[in-house]
Chains A and B, each alone.
Chain A
Amino acid sequence: MNASMGGLTNQLNNMNLGGHSQTQLITVNLIGVPPNVGDLDAPPPLINLPPNSSVTQSDKANCEPSYKRCTFNSVPSTASLLSKSRLPFGLIITPYRSLKEGDDPVPVVTDTVIARCRRCRTYINPFVTFVEGGQKWRCNLCFLSNEVPSQFDWDLQTSQQANRWNRAELNHAVVEFVAPTEYMVRPPQPPVYLFVIDVSFPAVQSGAVATAAKTILESLDRIPNEENRTKVGFITVDTSLHFYSLNSNSSEPQMLVVSDLEDVFLPQPDDLLVNLTEARSVVESLLSHLGDMFKDTHTVGNALGSALLAGFKLISSIGGKIVVLQSSLPNIGPGQLKAREDSKALGTPKESALLQSAEPFYKKFAVDCSRSQVCVDMFLLGSQYSDVATLSCCPRYTGGQTYFYPAFNAGRSEDALKFAHEFAEFLASPIALEAVMRVRASKGLRMTSFYGNFFVRQTDLLALPNVSRDHSYAIEVSIEENITTPTVCFQTALLHTTCFGERRIRVLTLSLPVTNSISELYSSADQIAISTLLANKAVERSLSSKLEDARDALTNKLIDILGVYKSAITGSQGASPQLQSCDNLKLLPLLALGLLKHVGLRASSQIPTDLRSYAMCLLTTMPSQLLIPYIHPRFYSLHNMPVDAGTYGPDGIIMPPPLNLSSEKLERHGAYLLEDGQNIFIWLGRQVVPQLCMDLLNVRSYEEVHSGKVTLLQLDNPFSQQVNAIIGKTRESRRGVYYPHLYIVKEDGGDPSLRLWFLSHIIEDRTDTVMSYQQWLGHLKDKVK
């Protein structure tokens, strides 16, 4: 949906050749007006490039916002204009996003003719110009003339002269080049999956081991293995390490136990990491027994650190993925952790210490991994404190992801389903291996800070042993010199190895006009990109300083932006009863309030550290499409939704109109659905009609409804089918592997903590610590000079 919108935007953009292409600045009042939450899905302001900016008139010449978006779609020409505007300058990049139905695949240039600028190493793109009769091309970043490669107009397949204007790199802003050997330091690595599985007592008891083994077994055909090169290995760990010899000639795996945790060694050199295709039967045999193998264990204790070191020894010569399935706190051997959570520190300045890593081992390990192209993904299934803050360091610096399942118990079918679904999707996702990413920009612009899961290897080079699907990266940009050109360009290059063993460079080119007018700058600002960048900065600030500082910085940013809007654009001075913003930034205060009330950032002494840390992991890795609902949940009313909601329309399932997140909307007799991409809640008012309970949950009345985690029944009535369709669409429509839990919440008579949890998402309301949306606007208005 978003992608096709983006396409349309570009199309309109390219049609707009007349010159009168100024985006109108529309001033709107904020106070007293409910925010129009339907506009959260609106596309960003148009990119008004001068006519004929691209060499081809392709509608794909400029980058779609789902791949890369800037916090404003016209760039200020000077640093003083930027600082005067107070708007943050940054890029949100999702280079390896998933393709949904209807999305165009990324075109591939297969002939290994890669034209790059001699001086700044920019890749040829739709915004270069051809000079000297097409013999040379002028770089659009540094304006050097470069020779056009001799093979550029030649079709290798037909051995004939080809039409240059059909080349993908001149028509598409997002393109992939097949890289020749110059781009390799070694032959492309195969995908490697090494599973490190906690088999201590809590892990076995919660059913995590059995569920994980079953999911891996069922996913063996979905793990990327097109070329039959994929390697797998298994290490199980409690107070000792268990390796599995998976010789393809034997039918049964052989377990090898190593008890020396300090000086980790591999019990044998071969057969611990094996080719999945060749050793398929023995791997299957292991996985079908793994669930039962430790069922009588009473071993409490886990030596994750030793297992990681052993895993690193096993795969570091190749690189690849270490998938950790952890159900208890590692408490012996290197990298041992303590249950350090201190409920008295929550909500105080001491809380930030708990959000930081407790043990340098994991960070150091991650840095070693990054060097050897090893990525770590953490699945944390602990029933108790899991120290997400410390363990998430491994994924953070290696391009992986942390997944957290608090109080996991496979005995509850919902828990097992959620984990199995997400784990299976994770295993099936294509990944990019041994990658580096760099963003080049026109002269005068410099990338300054980087946010996301990677290791900064050089001033502007990000090392990503694996690029996880749908991970987003935020980059702050500064203006070092005045810009004198009418447009600027940002080019992201992601050099990577595909799962099928090809070295490729994915190039994303975004060209933006330059402006010296502050009103044009404001009218082109992208509130979604700004919110994404501010979320990343707020998390960074919470970790390096205090949560309170992060919230203050966010509030001050909003005051600054609205203050500049008031003084420099509407030109009013002194006190005024109204707070104004431009139409394209009107939801920024709401999104900022969503962040201030978000579980990752809000002031509270009730939020367990693990939940906060996990929320922070999500806030810094999610693409905008997932992040925006995560900070501003979607809210629908079910009892009076339109008749066609939840049925098939021309664009798939029709969704009901989204509501404002305000409890005014909650009617006594109503039923509501709220979802943030991680959880779905169905709220039932206390006077909900019995027929609705019957239709939805197959119980006779409100009193019989059980609140809590449920799997919604598929009943044979239109209402149940509609609601199921809406939930199904919600679960599928967004990027990422997440499969939200569904909770039934009762207005009264149910679980009170669940009710409070639900209400904490109703962000336009006042809570005991944070103001309501209208109070927040009033506060901003008072602070604005």
Chain B
Amino acid sequence: MPGEALLFLFGTIMAAALLFMMVFFTIMFSDLECDYINPIDLCNKLNQFVLPEMLAHAFLGFAFFINGSWIAFAINAPLVAFNVQKISNNRHMYDATEIFRTLGQHKKECFIKLGFYLICFFYYLYRYDKLHKAII
């Protein structure tokens, strides 16, 4: 199997993992709204995943860039830029003292990312499938 097909297979798996992560985030936020979890625990839990998510996503984007998969790279570049900007403003971590005030925003962001990863998942799968079939 050539590299590019492998890359898209890897991308599919990563997108699925990120998708699950976003589902997890969404569930946690709705738990917070229902008072099943307190904001301190929520932030401690979610903050563990913030950087890994961003790193995984950035790595994937970088891999597409190296490989010259320009469309896949172009899809991912805005989110990478968004994440970099968040980190440079030191706003990437969830703050327990502000979480209720910013919950709406966080949820919206989470839903958008969820949709984004879902689209990515199908796009990578489609690309992988095409590349894979081309070999056979």
Contact = CB atoms under 8 A, between A and B. Distances in A.
Interface stretch (B62-70, B71-79, B95-103): B95-103
B41 to A, nearest CB: 10
B80 to A, nearest CB: 25
A170 interface: no
Interface in A449-470: 449-450, 455-459, 461
A477 interface: no
B78 to A, nearest CB: 24
Contacts of B100: 450, 456, 459
Contacts of B101: 449
A506 interface: no
A366 B40 contact: no
Interface in B18-66: 32-33, 35, 38-40
Given A367-B40, A371-B40, A459 B35 contact: yes
A366 B97 CA distance: 9
Contacts of B40: 367, 371
A461 B40 CA distance: 14
Given A459-B33, A459-B100, A363 B38 contact: no
B35 A363 contact: no
Nearest to B95: A363
B98 to A, nearest CB: 8
A212 to B, nearest CB: 29
Contacts of B39: 456-457
Nearest to B99: A456
B33 A363 contact: no
A397 interface: yes
B42 to A, nearest CB: 11
Interface residues of A, number: 13
Interface residues of B, number: 12
Nearest to A368: B40
A350 B49 CA distance: 31
A679 B100 CA distance: 36
A448 to B, nearest CB: 9
A3 B71 CA distance: 69
A449 B100 CA distance: 8
A461 B38 CA distance: 10
Contacts of A455: 96-97
A459 B101 CA distance: 10
Interface in B77-109: 95-97, 99-101
Contacts of A458: 35, 38
B33 A367 contact: no
A367 B35 contact: no
Interface in B94-130: 95-97, 99-101
A461 B100 CA distance: 11
Interface in A318-373: 363, 366-367, 371
Contacts of B32: 459
Contacts of A449: 101
B131 to A, nearest CB: 46
Contacts of A450: 100
A429 to B, nearest CB: 25
A456 B35 CA distance: 11
A31 B108 CA distance: 45
A737 B57 CA distance: 54
Contacts of B33: 459
A475 to B, nearest CB: 12
A743 to B, nearest CB: 37
Contacts of A459: 32-33, 35, 100
A456 B101 CA distance: 9
Contacts of A456: 39, 97, 99-100
A367 B38 contact: no
A449 B99 CA distance: 11
Contacts of A363: 95, 97
A397 B35 CA distance: 19
Nearest to A461: B35
A458 B100 CA distance: 8
B91 to A, nearest CB: 11
Among A366, A397, A455, A456: residue with most chain B CB under 10 A: A456
A419 to B, nearest CB: 29
A363 B95 CA distance: 9
Q: Which of B32, B96, B101 has the largest number of chain A CB atoms within 10 A?
A: B96
A352 B72 CA distance: 39
A457 B97 contact: no
Interface string A423-463: 00000000000000000000000000110000111110100
A450 B101 CA distance: 9
A212 B57 CA distance: 55
Nearest to A393: B97
Contacts of A397: 97
Contact of B97 (A367, A371, A461): A367
A397 B40 CA distance: 13
Nearest to B97: A397
A533 B71 CA distance: 50
Interface in A491-538: none
A457 B36 CA distance: 11
B110 to A, nearest CB: 18
A449 B38 CA distance: 17
A199 B54 CA distance: 45
A459 B95 CA distance: 15
A363 B38 CA distance: 17
Contacts of A367: 40, 96-97
Interface string A277-309: 000000000000000000000000000000000
Nearest to A457: B38
Contacts of B38: 457-458
A397 B38 CA distance: 15
Nearest to A460: B35
**Chain A CB within 10 A, most for which of B33, B35, B97, B101:** B97
Q: Which of B33, B95, B99, B101 has the largest count of A CB atoms less than 10 A from its CB?
A: B101
Nearest to B32: A459
B39 to A, nearest CB: 7
Nearest to A450: B100
Contacts of A371: 40
Nearest to B103: A459
A398 to B, nearest CB: 11
From B33, B38, B95, name the one whose CB has the most chain A CB atoms within 10 angstroms. B38
Nearest to B36: A458
14 contacts: A367-B96, A367-B97, A371-B40, A449-B101, A455-B96, A455-B97, A456-B39, A456-B97, A456-B99, A456-B100, A457-B39, A459-B35, A459-B100, A461-B35
8 closest cross-chain pairs (CB), A and B: A458-B35, A456-B100, A367-B96, A397-B97, A457-B38, A367-B40, A459-B35, A363-B97
Interface of A: 363, 366-367, 371, 397, 449-450, 455-459, 461
